[in-house]
Amino acid sequence: MSGAKERLQLQEKFEIMPETLGGQFRKDFPPYLDGLVRSEPHHYVTTPEFAKNAEDIYNLAPRPDDIYVSTFPKCGTTWVQELVWMVVNQCDFEKSKKEQLSIRSPFLEKANSPLVDKIMELICYWNLMDWLRPFIRKAISFVLGDCLRDLEQIDQMAGPRVIKSHLPLYLLNPSVLNTSKVVYVARNPKDVIVSYYHYHRLLEFHHYTGNLEAFADYFMTDRVYSAPFFPHLLDAWNKRHHPNLHFVFYEDLKKDLRGEIQKIAKFLGKTLTEDQLVKLTEHLRFDNFAKNETVNCEIGKEIGLMNNSGNFIRKGKTGDWKNHFSPELNERIDKWMQTNLEGTDLRFITELEQQD
């Protein structure tokens, strides 16, 4: 990126996952025309489009005043992203009301993603007439042109930059953790599965057509976008004592939002006044947050990127999985969790502990 430094070579190599090109998978994820790819040696699952740009993202140079908000998808990323941006920017509520969060705090792996091309691919899938394509392309560019930053724009942003990413740490520039600060958010995987299922049904990019039980199976067998879950989480957990990494549980944010804001502010070297703390806590209260048009992505419904039956900012509850899992499915997930947590000291906060 900036400067004349020697380009870093990403060691991960991406190969197509043959099972994602046909059969039941293609029926359940119809927009995935080119399937998904998996990396070696870490087995990260993503799209062929991202794989083409992975090394460019890997070469984004971190700065000492950068803050990365890192999570597996549906672990409270947008919530904490807004929290961190507000803390870093002295609770500038006026700017936060006027400017989309995606501009104030860019989504790293979407920076070089050919979003318009993917939408064109979906148009082709739905058999729309060829002559519509240039008009739709112009419309999407007009609407989204100021809502996303490309990698060059992120590189040239004035600091401090608050950068959102769902990438595991090994796909970020290797000097990130020793140079910048990272706020990592973890969540109980049972709630992640439920939230990610609804997310895949909401976005036309995924357009998942199967049921929750099948989705849980895809999730546990590492056949969904951004999988696998536990290696992503455990990599950060094992680095939680690094002075530049702050590890926070979604469940702790739900239990004591004010207290967790104070902890994050301290980690970032910021001090909030009592008035700022009270206002920020109210600003981030989930029912208020879900109505915030600069973070809730409702614009996606207006341009056909999301269906109208759900919301990007959904319930935000902990323990909602109890309303979705059958006893049999819950038992399978418990065994999967037990297998992946064996030999680690990571444990998830229970709903009972939250209420104490």
Burial 295-324 (b: 16+ CB within 10 A, else e): bbbbbbbeeebbeeeeebbbebebbbbeeb
342 Cβ neighbours under 8 A, 6+ residues apart? none
186 and 233 Cβ atoms separated by less than 8 Å = yes
300 and 306 Cβ atoms separated by less than 8 Å = yes
SS3 245: strand
Letter for the amino acid at 211? N
**Is the peptide bond between 160 and the residue preceding it cis, with omega within 30 degrees of 0?**
yes
CA angle 277, 282, 286 (to 5 degrees): 130
Q: Catalytic: 166?
A: yes
The burial class, CB within 10 Å (0-12 / 13-18 / 19+), for 15 is exposed
Question: How far apart (Å, rounded) are the C-alpha atoms in residues 323 and 320?
Answer: 6
Tokens (6 digits) for 207: 């357009």
Question: How far apart (Å, rounded) are the C-alpha atoms in residues 64 and 180?
Answer: 5
CA angle 276, 278, 284 (to 5 degrees): 95
Tokens 């002075």 sit on residue:
243
135 and 142 Cβ atoms separated by less than 8 Å = no
Catalytic residue among 166, 198, 206, 246: 166
What are the DSSP calls for 37-87, one per residue?
EEEETT--EE-HHHHHHHHHHHTPPP-TT-EEEEESTTSSHHHHHHHHHHH
Catalytic residues: 166
